Structure 1
Amino acid sequence: MKTIYTSFEEAVSGIKDGMTMMVGGFGLVGIPENLILGLRKTNIKDLTVISNNCGVDDWGLGILLQNKQIKKMISSYVGENKEFERQVLSGELEVQLVPQGSLAEKIRAGGAGIPAFYTPAGVGTPIAEGRETREFDGKEYLLEEGLTADVSLVKAWKADKLGNLVYRKTAQNFNPMMAAAGKVTIAEVEEIVEVGELNPNEIHTPSIYVQGLIVGKHEKRIERLTVRD
């Protein structure tokens, strides 16, 4: 049976200054919001965070950014966060932008034990400057290295007590691959069920990748609200 935490502060207590951390989600969908809030209450700092984006100013990873806990972001989209922009322009935050498909494959490769791969994405752009390229069948490709993390924080729908995870709908974004790429993976879930209650054919992340579980209630926020006049 996996460790089942009763507080979010306890769940993130193994995260230390300077660690590399993956955080699942796409925009504000499928983010481990309560684990992020738990981390916000700590004094942990100088984190390198790998995530598709950095939340918004007052939710998701944006609250860690406001608290000056993130030293470096490795991500593909950062356009919804004014504090992010301010910190980048002032030199307070280091940023490595990666094409979204390349970011997903870097994480998947890291979780699969693949150290590097070649991709056409980024060739001929500033992303490729000073980096290794190679030609295959007359086409140029850029070398990208796989990514792993000290800790992965993911959000799932259901888990059983062994730590098998099922994601719901769009939460199947970066969460499954990040669960595999973290040395330690903590999953925030909506429900924990008994062993045998999950259909084996519907399990997205096998329990071998998961070290801890915690149940949380989640707030449904809209990243960019669009309404009629």
Structure 2
Amino acid sequence: MNKARTQQGNLVLPCLDEAAALPWVLARIPDGWSAIVVDNGSTDGSAELARQLGARVVHEPHRGFGAACHTGLLAADAELIAFCDCDGSLDPDAAQRIAGPVREGTADLVLARRRPTGRGAWPLHARAGNLALSRMMRRRTGVRLHDLGPLRVARREELLGLGLTDRRSGYPLEMVVRAADAGWRIRETWVAYRPRAGRSKVTGTWRGTWQAVRDMRAVLR
């Protein structure tokens, strides 16, 4: 039987130097789901390690969170697609639960609302930036969300139909904005948010957070 028909979904994991987290992340892929690790120019052997651990690896040479996510979406072959960070801060096993409303037809896009579970899991500057963007997004679309985190689930064909164009940090926000404009039913649910393995390339510093906020504000404009 065709693999795309038997599997429940693809889990897209954008990856830039995440060798320290990959063993735990890939061990937590839920049954019926397959991991697509999108290597975004790693120099620490992440791609080779992911392949050894059984993940499908594709390469995206153009740096950017959105570029990696979209390459993973294009490479996917399942009906349901989940996106998740590859740094160990989010448990990939949660994708099964988050996908439930999409699978059952009661939602079109479900986002994970992060709940920090350890010291340093979510720096204050990153949390403040996320809150400001959530409020701006609410004013723009009317959709009441508390978090614009990376872990979310939707159907592949519908995602492709949104025509997403951002290839930087604005990709997650653009997905929500375009989905809202298209009349999608958008929901959120709680997930645990752990301290990541290694140093964040985006929200680990004020500079990274500010760049992400700039990218997302450009999407709202």
TM-score, structure 2 normalization: 0.32
Greater C-alpha Rg: 1
TM-score by length of 1: 0.31
Higher strand share: 1
